[in-house]
Structure 1
Amino acid sequence: MQAKEKLNVQYEHSEKLNDFLQDLNISILLSTYQTSRIACIGSNKDLNVSFSIYDKPMGIAKTNRGLAIGTSSMIWKLMARKNNTTIPNNSNNPDIIFHARESISTGPIMGHELFYRGGKLWVVNTRFNSICTIEPPWSFKPYWKPNFIPKDNEGDRCHLNGMAFRENESNPSLASVLGTGSEINSWRANKANSGAIIDIKTDTLIAEKLSMPHSPRYYKNEIYFLNSGEGSLERIDQKTYKREKIAIMPGFTRGLDFYGGFAFVGLSQIRETNIFGGLPISEKKLEAGVSIIDLKTRKEILRFWFKSIVEEIFSVCVLPGWKNPKLISSIDDQESPSWVLPG
């Protein structure tokens, strides 16, 4: 990974976003593989937005020791440190620092979502159409793949991109795919309506004919997902599997987290027309950033959006308990060295 030039990113946000983050005592991380950055939205006296460099970052997971970030061919582990990291000339007064200390090579697996559950890192391995755990000495250890995928076949056939865990469970229960075909790139042909949410335990489709779905989640024992091609947040009834739209937003919705009765939804513009062309939202004016939805009123209450450079978001990760975190990658270290010391 080569050091990159600093980005002159412009952004705007709702007037009360800083107060909202302060009141909930949270911050927000966004991965943007398009710019090889993790964006950190924190609050101090004013909103504080910073960037950390990673090679095409996708999944972000909260772990027992800090964070994990999936990149183009490896997973970085970041240790959380509150008091004993020395950062020269630092003026942003972070209340927690996540410092990249260890990496695991997975090879180019097109890793998408990343979770830490049951003491293991779980990754959506799109290149091998499977959900895997990261357990050395292997590059990855397959756990599940859709029953319509041929055994042990490499190649992106269904664009498996997301997974969901029930609260307090160690194994994933749901997966999102953009198609249900078995041939390489078969998902591209009818991407506007060929997506599905799969129950992993029964290998059944609980929602289908979706428009490029992403980010399935359980929150307060309810199933949510993003119907990305329609720019919507939706909920699935667990008994009838009936879908219900919660909110529609001005972006390709991808990346979802929940906290305090609010949904934090990633928004992206559409850059690659060969992939995203023909979607219901393709004719709309779209933004890249994050939208905050009140689940009680089903309305957007706040938004943060980029005005330049950043066009795509993949993961959204809320950090409870930390208002103003700082992330430090190995590339950040080259530009502004930092050290983790004992004591």
Structure 2
Amino acid sequence: MNPSEKPPFHSTYTPNIPEILWKNQLTLVITTYQAGKVIFISASSENGLIQLPRDFQKAMGMAYHQGKMAVATREEVVVLKSTSALAKGYPKMPNTYDGLFMPRSLYFTGEVDIHDMAWGNEGLWAVNTRFSCLSLINDNYSFEPKWKPKFVSDLVPEDRCHLNGMAMKEGRPEYVTALGTTNKEFGWRENKTKGGVLVHVPSGEILTSGLAMPHSPRLEGNKLFVLLSATGELISVDQQSGQYEVMTKIPGFVRGMSRYGNLLFIGLSKMRKSSATFKDLPIAQESVFPGVVVVDANTGNIVGHIKYETSLEEIYDIKIIAGMQRPGILGVNTDDHRAGLSLPNQGFWAFPREKDETGMAGAN
């Protein structure tokens, strides 16, 4: 089949991917700002996958915790909550989903280029790339600045160091990644393939430098994993010395990572040849396909993949929803979500209004 004949978001995958998701009741969630989508990837059986893409303009970082998800878009942060009471009776797909993520809050941040996000003790943390700082997202301001690197002197919208990734520990940011230590507008671009740093947030000290476009730091137990996007490498960093070892090399621009058990699910993007930022990266000539690769966190071996053949070229973030075989999601760009009314222990779908009467369909 020619690429032009394949359906949108057509993908192929290794046979173990649906088996992993099915047996462990997992769903993968990916964001692609290039396609403007949040995509749920679930197993339809031990042998097949099913996808559910929804429109979210320039979808970037995500946060997920106990059935609640936040998605950073071009100008907003959308917070969604899974409601099992509404899932079963969803009018368009009844008896299909075991959870249904519905929009419940919308924060108007403006175009601050939010990257990684996570819920912590103080609320929703976000990497505010345009202002080179860590922020809290709430209903008081566009954002509430909480921390910036020592090498950035001013809180201004100049993307001075391209702060991007964040690793949490005990409910607070512990590490961040940046593509440079520069203090001028877009200064990081001058040495983007060798100027990256990993910074310890509580002390403000640089733990590791000279990194090739670091992204997606993740603390998993005592292990600190980081992706080097420009070289396609997954590294494990010693938190005392800052020294690191390369666990594996992946043929593409790696960004977005989430762990389940001993498996790391890593986003893989295909470089745009027209991009002034990416076309000259070392990995650009090796980039094979966009999708998801699965790596054994103990050995560094690549054990599986999902390969996209249409529609999707770039991935920013990956999250894992555990305990849901096939959840659904409704975006904010259609009216579908407006009919779903959720209560603490109940849910109702509203019928369309007819004349002067309104009916409700119950779902308990």
Q: TM-score, normalised by structure 1?
A: 0.93
Query: Which of 103, 114, 117 is the matching residue for 1:114?
Result: 117
How far apart are 1:229 and its partner, in Å? 0.5
Contact 1:87 1:337 in 2 (8 A): no
**2:110 equivalent to 1:98:** no
Q: Is the 8 A contact 1:88 1:338 kept in 2?
A: no
**1:87/1:338 contact within 8 Å kept:** no
Q: Which residue of 1 aligns with 2:26?
A: 26
Give the AA of the match of 2:27: S
Q: Who is 1:302 aligned against?
A: 304
Counterpart of 1:201 in structure 2 is 202
Q: Count the aligned residue pairs.
A: 334
Instruction: Name stretches of at least 5 consecutive residues in structure 2 with no aligned partner.
Output: 1-6, 347-364
Structure 1: gaps of 5 or more residues: 1-6
Q: Does the residue aligned with 1:87 lie in a helix, a strand or coil?
A: coil
Name the residue aligned to 1:4: none
Distance 1:127 1:181, change over 3 A: same
| 1:187-226 pair list within 5 angstroms | 187-226=188-227
Match of 1:36 in 2: 36
Instruction: Confirm or deny: 8 A CA contact 2:253 2:287 kept in the other structure.
Output: no
Q: Is the 8 A contact 1:112 1:162 kept in 2?
A: yes
Kept after mapping to 2: 8 A contact 1:52/1:332: no
Deviation per residue, 1:182-228 (Å, 9 max, x gap): 01011111111111111112222111111111001100111110001
Cα–Cα, structure 1 residues 26 and 119, in superposed 2: closer, same or farther, change >3 Å?
A: farther
For the pair shown, the structure with the greater C-alpha radius of gyration is 2
CA contact (8 A) 1:211 1:279 kept: no
In 2, distance between residues paired with 1:112 and 1:84?
Answer: 30
Aligned residues of 1:270 and 1:286 also touching (Cα < 8 A): no
1:287 is aligned, of 286, 289, 292, to: 289
What do residues 1-58 of structure 1 show as CA deviations (whole Å, max 9, x unaligned)? xxxxxx8221111112111111222110000011110011101223111101111111
Distance in 2 separating the partners of 1:92 and 1:10 = 25
- The equivalent of 1:313 in structure 2 is 315
Aligned-pair distance for 1:285? 3.3
Partners of 1:338 and 1:269 in 2: how far apart? Answer: 38
Counterpart CA distance in 1 for 2:195 and 2:271 is: 19
Q: One-letter code of the match for 2:248?
A: A
Matches for 1:141-160 after TM superposition, within 5 Å? 141-160=144-163
Comparing 240-249 with 308-317, which one deviates more in the overlay? 240-249
| Segment drifting more, 7-16 vs 18-27 | 7-16
Query: In percent, how many aligned pairs have the same letter?
Result: 29
| Equivalent residues of 1:268, 1:313 under 8 A apart | yes
How many Å separate the matches in 2 of 1:328 and 1:112?
22
CA contact (8 A) 2:294 2:305 kept: yes
Task: Tell me which residue corresponds to 1:3.
Answer: none
Which runs of structure 2 are paired with 1:41-120 in the superposition (5 Å)? 41-45=41-45, 46-64=48-66, 66-85=68-87, 86-90=89-93, 93-120=96-123
Q: Deviations over 1:266-316 (max 9, x none)?
A: 100111431013222111133211111111221111101210120000000
Take 1:199 and 1:102, find their aligned partners in 2: how far apart are those partners? 31
C-alpha separation between the residues in 2 aligned to 1:67 and 1:82? 15
Pairwise CA distance, 1:87:
2.1
* Residue identity in the other structure for 1:98: F
